[in-house]
Amino acid sequence: MSEDTLLDVLEVMHRIRETEETITRLRLSEDIVGSVHLCNGQEAIYAGAVRALELSRDAVFPTYRGHGWAIACGVPPEAVLAELLGRESGISGGRGGSAYFTAPAYGMYGENSIVGAGAPIACGAALAGRFDGSGRVAVASFGEGAMNQGAVHEAMNFAAAMTLPVVFLVENNTYSELTPTRDVVRNDQFFRRASAYGMAGVRFDGNDPDAVRDAVADAVERCRNGAGPVLLEAMTQRIVGHYIGDVQHYRPAGELDAAIAAEPIARAERMARAAGVGDAELAALRQRVVDEVDRAAQAALAAPLADPATVEEHVYA
Amino acid sequence: MPEIIEKTLSYAESVNAALARALEERPETLLFGEDVAIPGGVFGVTKGLRRKFGERVFDTPISESAILGGAVGSAMFGRRPIVEIMWADFALVAFDQIVNQAANVRYVSRGALTAPLTVRTQQGNAPGACAQHSQSLEALFAHIPGIRVCMPTTNQDAYDLLLSAIWSDDPTIVIENRTLYHGAKQPVRIGGPVQAVGGVGLRRSGSDLTVVTWGAMQHRVLAAAERAAAEGIDAEVLDARWIRPLDLDSILASVQRTGRLLVVHEAHTIGGVGAEVVSRVVESGVRLSSPPVRIGALETRIPAAVQLAARVLPADEDILGAIRRVAHDVPAGRVEAMPVGAR
Ligand SMILES: Cc1ncc(C[n+]2csc(CCOP(=O)(O)OP(=O)(O)O)c2C)c(N)n1
């Protein structure tokens, strides 16, 4: 990765992290209410993957842990924060909240709070591409826990049987909520399931944005060339709870420290330093993003709440 | 049968006590679901049960079809599974196992096989919850012959109804509510005989109208009933905690005395259980002094933003308005025009 690219990726990862940190503060102050799932530690997946996508035609289908995907796709932090704050200016006007907003104008076709539900829908987006001439590739992104959901099995076979351009991207953070996923599967090398469906399957370091970008770029190329779906498994760790407030008593001693040591932002900074970028430049980059997200939070807080008089809109044509 | 003792328990602890008793007394019970065993449940409801009962309590993959199908199959072979579906909304990914499978086991085998399984789930809105984590789906379950459905709201009912469900030889859905789990502790009678399924709970005696409700919504109903009392309207509040079988006799006995009926639920009204209650009361021929009314969620999706959800779900004011309307027989839309206290 060139130095410029590395700094671009780092900026996106900072933007995601700062937004998540701001959300945490606003949740603890109860400006934001309800269940919030953060993606701290998994930022390299989003920042890396979008570099291999053309968001004007490709379509991403993330999960409830989707703030990072949205920001990587270009949704302004203010629109995400405003959404969680129930503002009219939220990306879904306060309808979706933290776990279920959608940003189709940015190629981000919705978080989903039903585990695995995005995978069959991504097949449909790819199917439509076969008829609309767009050459669209659909990315279904979900946790490894979702690999045990019937809908995901069906989607993989459906996409493979129909040679659909779908990238199934597993964000393997090793936990299904509070349960280690390896405790509920016989084989936790999920990419190996691909061959059973007749797909290519690849596992890689999900904390390395370069590795993510390369893997997604290969998969996208296969898809665009008509070779059918690919299963990607990005290995990562969340460095926060499953939701804000999760005390993570289920994590063995030392695991979280190791995850923090391997988290992608500090790591990208180490790489930048090794490539000759100075500490001052790195600090300035981060500060610029901190200020940007701070302004976004103030604007979101100052914006008017979504209007209850509108609750019956958009249910039917 | 353990003797009756009284303990001060939260709703979650009451559920836990019922599960512990079932696992203790009935060795054929199993308890499984996502995060229920080692983590003790995402809401902490099943804490300690794995340690106490070992491998009869276990964690599953995120596989609702396999959880529910596993319950159906193990029930057919002599187990008495109790499974957790973390949110009622998630039952939809595996609805087949309830509607096409569990409900047919006894029927198609003409009683040679049964499916004595219990599905514990929870539903309803809580602040900030999205449209896929907020629905009240009791009507979907209650629509199905062969399935039994209850919605415990008091801590005592959280204990009693769950045991009735587990002891029942039919597939039974117990719908809890996460906003109740860690609320106030109350004295709960633990032990004693397990009650048969069915029956209503009398939550407030009154003579002017009968309000039938269920689930967490009844707290708002009771608050509205107190405000109505200050205006001179004496509402009787019945908790139809068993939705199927519905205890129509108890509802009719009350309506016969009051001559007026209001049904309040959190679920949407169209095709809801409220429609069923009103129909059954009207069909019975009991004389009503004013048209029956039901209120529930507006016919829209449930938004995450708190102020939006507050508009969609019945609020204390809406319930009070409906109580006035039924009590004074004023047409819809004219409730606000009634002078407070006028009769
Ligand atoms: C169908 C369904 N079942 C259960 C849940 C509850 N739930 C929400 S997140 C989650 C864990 C998902 O784990 P994984 O797929 O690995 O993704 P992660 O949360 O780690 O990103 C579960 C069980 C749900 N939302 N939908």
CATH code, B211: 3.40.50.920
Pocket test for ligand 1, best of A39, A65, A98, A115 (most atoms within 8 A of CB): A115
Residue B187, sorted as left (phi over 0), alpha (psi -120 to 50) or beta, turns out to be beta
For chain A, the distance separating the N- and C-terminal CA atoms, rounded to the nearest angstrom, is 47
The CATH number of the structural domain formed by A3-297 is: 3.40.50.970
Using only C-alpha atoms, chain B has a radius of gyration, in whole angstroms, of 20
Q: Is residue B225 part of a domain?
A: yes
* Number of residues written out for chain A: 317
Among B190, B216, B248, identify where a domain stops: B190
Residues B147 and B282 placed together within one structural domain of the fold: no
**Cα separation of B224 and B322, whole Å?**
10
Residues B100 and B157 placed together within one structural domain of the fold: yes
What dihedral do alpha carbons A7, A12, A16, A19 form, nearest 10°? Answer: 90
pLDDT confidence of residue B332: 67
The model's pLDDT over A11-33, given as tens digits with 9 standing for 90+, comes to 999 999 999 999 999 999 999 99
Determine the 3-state secondary structure of B212 from DSSP.
Answer: strand
Among B190, B212, B230, identify where a domain stops: B190
The model's pLDDT over A178-188, given as tens digits with 9 standing for 90+, comes to 999 999 999 99
Cβ atoms of B102 and B147 closer than 8 Å? yes
pLDDT confidence of residue A76: 98
Q: Is residue B336 part of a domain?
A: no
**Cα separation of A148 and A193, whole Å?**
11
Residues B205 and B77 placed together within one structural domain of the fold: no
Residue A257 has pLDDT above 80, yes or no: yes
Domain range for B277: 201-328
**Cα separation of A39 and A302, whole Å?**
26
Q: What are phi and psi of B174, to 5 degrees?
A: -105, 115
Residues B164 and B85 placed together within one structural domain of the fold: yes
Residues B218 and B123 placed together within one structural domain of the fold: no
**Cα separation of B73 and B115, whole Å?**
8
Residues B97 and B234 placed together within one structural domain of the fold: no
AA identity, residue A99: A
- Tokens standing for A294? 């701070």
Pocket test for ligand 1, best of A176, A243, A248 (most atoms within 8 A of CB): A176
pLDDT confidence of residue A255: 97
- Tokens standing for B220? 């708002």
Among B126, B159, B190, identify where a domain stops: B190
The model's pLDDT over A75-93, given as tens digits with 9 standing for 90+, comes to 999 999 999 999 999 999 9
Residues B184 and B208 placed together within one structural domain of the fold: no
Query: Which residues, 6 or more positions from A302, have their beta carbon under 8 angstroms from its beta carbon?
Result: none
pLDDT confidence of residue B329: 85
SS3 of chain A: helix, strand, coil, percent, to 5: 50, 10, 40
The model's pLDDT over B286-313, given as tens digits with 9 standing for 90+, comes to 999 999 999 999 999 999 999 999 999 9
Q: Is residue B219 part of a domain?
A: yes
Q: What ranges do the domains of chain A cover?
A: 3-297
| ∠ Cα A134 A138 A144 (to 5°) | 175
| ∠ Cα A208 A212 A213 (to 5°) | 115
The model's pLDDT over B221-256, given as tens digits with 9 standing for 90+, comes to 999 999 999 999 999 999 999 999 999 999 999 999
In chain B, the percentage of residues whose pLDDT exceeds 70 is 97
ipTM, two decimals, is 0.96
Q: Pocket residues for ligand 1 (CB within 6 Å)? A: A 65, 113-115, 142-146, 171, 173, 175-177, 242; B 34, 62, 64, 86, 90, 93
> How buried is residue B257: exposed, middle or buried, by Cβ count under 10 Å (0-12/13-18/19+)?
middle
DSSP letter string, A57-100: T-EEE--SS-HHHHHHTT--HHHHHHHHTTBTTSTTTTSSTTTS
Residues B70 and B139 placed together within one structural domain of the fold: yes
The pTM assigned to this predicted structure is 0.96
**Cα separation of A223 and B57, whole Å?**
44
How close does chain A come to B183, measured CA to CA in Å?
17
Tally of domains within chain B: 2
Residues B144 and B279 placed together within one structural domain of the fold: no
Mean pLDDT of the region A224-250: 97
- Whether residue A275 lies within 8 A of chain B, CB to CB, comes out as no
Q: Is residue B105 part of a domain?
A: yes
pLDDT confidence of residue B335: 46
Sign of CA dihedral B188, B193, B198, B200: negative
Q: Is residue B337 part of a domain?
A: no
**CB-defined contacts A:B, below 8 A:** 132
Mean pLDDT of the region B269-287: 98
Confidence of residue A307 (pLDDT cuts 50, 70, 90): very high
Residues B225 and B145 placed together within one structural domain of the fold: no
The model's pLDDT over B181-211, given as tens digits with 9 standing for 90+, comes to 999 999 999 999 999 999 999 999 999 999 9
Chain B positions touching A250 (Cβ under 8 A) are: 38-39
Q: Indicate which residues of B carry an active-site annotation.
A: 133
Residues B147 and B34 placed together within one structural domain of the fold: yes
Residue B336 has pLDDT above 50, yes or no: no
Residues B63 and B209 placed together within one structural domain of the fold: no
